[in-house]
Homo-oligomer: A and B are copies of this chain.
Amino acid sequence: MNKKKIRITGTFLDEISHDIPHQNWGAKEWSEDFIWMSKADLKRVILIRCGYKNWITYPSEILIKQEKAIRPHWDLVSFFLQCCEKNNFEFYFGLYDSGKYWVNGDYKKEIQLNKKIISEVWHLYGHSKAFKGWYLSQECSHNSGEIIELYHELGSHCKSVSNGLAVLISPYIDGEKNVSQYITNTQKKSSITLDDHFKSWNDIFSGIRSAVDIVAFQDGHVHYDQLYEFIKVNKELADQNKMTSWINSETFDRDMPIKFLPIKWDKLRFKLDTAFKAGIEDAITFEFSHFMSPQSSYLQAGHLYNRYLEYLKE
């Protein structure tokens, strides 16, 4: 029992959500979720983004003034930090995603805006002993636009204001399941080749290695048959660039027309085992509260939690 295996040590907190409907939890539900996470041996949370378009997690005067963000009724960042302190969790802060500047090619503006936010956030919350790192929320699958500059500039600024706290990114693979969540297809015809993927990430990693510490690739976009070789390449590239590799093991099911509900346990277990075989020891997941929590609005999540706990005891 308790044979060596990969474990889910952390989860994203999907606030502000981009595409998963909010659960409208209050202090009571979030506090209990940290208990459920503790029981499953999680020890870190990553706020996926502090804001998206108009919606923000903390009362950022910068975003309210400059981006017409709507003042939230509650300071979630402050609350999450308290939960982390109480439960000995590490907190990673996810940057703002404008949903427009970088998407429309203006990486400079996305960078400038986020530099101000990084400073604001560190001023407001940097004193918390749970504040352990940063998450660059602009996700990509290959070297496009000025993504290298964005990661490098923002990662460096995070480090410089926070005395070198860890910086995390979570890219995806342009596999056959990399389809928009706004279409109902679950697959497309073509997938990036392993070779092109290697070349693209070789370039990115060498351009950002001084500014980014951890890379946690998402594991849901490629066919199960191809997963091992892609994770293996990612791990090797990260090793060469002295970056730490985690896996972001998605707990929702990309194979179903309904977007998105909890994943079948056999699929999650296969993905975790595959990452372990490729030499990765730490998994985080997107994400616990909707897809694994016993108090999720999706009741399948609680059953997934039970299956995962059985696996931990194996």
- Which residue of B20, B262, B270, B307 contacts A21 across the interface (Cβ within 8 Å)? B262
The CA of A72 and the CA of B268, in the complex, are separated in Å by 12
Q: Which residues on B sit within 8 Å (CB–CB) of A20? A: 256
Q: Which of B25, B183, B253 contacts A22 (CB 8 A)?
A: B253
Could you tell me if B70 and A300 are in contact, using CB atoms closer than 8 angstroms? no
Q: Scan A197-225; emit 1 where CB is below 8 A from any B CB, else 0.
A: 00000000000000000000000000011
Residues of B within 8 A of A263 (CB): 22
Within 8 A of B (CB), among A140-176: none
A23 at the interface (CB under 8 A from B): yes
State the CA gap A102–B20 with chains docked (Å): 36
How far does the alpha carbon of A120 sit from the alpha carbon of B304 in the complex, in Å?
A: 30
Instruction: Report the separation of the CA atoms of residues A257 and B20 in the bound assembly, to the nearest whole angstrom.
Output: 8
Contact B306 A26 (CB under 8 A): yes
- In the complex, the answer to whether A265 meets B307 with C-beta atoms within 8 Å is no
Q: Is chain A's binding surface mostly helix, strand, loop or mixed?
A: loop
- Chain B: which residue is nearest A304 at the CB level? B24
Which residues of B have CB within 8 Å of A232? Answer: none
A264 at the interface (CB under 8 A from B): yes
Q: Which chain B positions have C-beta within 8 A of A72? A: 266
- Known contacts: A265-B73, A266-B70, A270-B70. The answer to whether A303 contacts B25 by CB under 8 A is yes
Q: Which residues of B contact A181 (CB under 8 A)?
A: 184, 257
13 pairs from A and B in contact (CB 8 Å cutoff): A17-B256, A17-B264, A24-B300, A24-B306, A24-B307, A29-B303, A54-B224, A54-B225, A55-B266, A55-B267, A73-B265, A182-B185, A258-B260
Apart from A20-B256, A21-B256, what are 13 other A-B pairs with CB-CB below 8 Å? A17-B264, A19-B256, A21-B300, A23-B303, A24-B265, A26-B310, A73-B311, A181-B184, A182-B186, A183-B184, A184-B184, A257-B259, A297-B299
Q: Which 5 A-B pairs have the closest CB atoms?
A: A24-B303, A22-B264, A297-B299, A21-B261, A181-B257
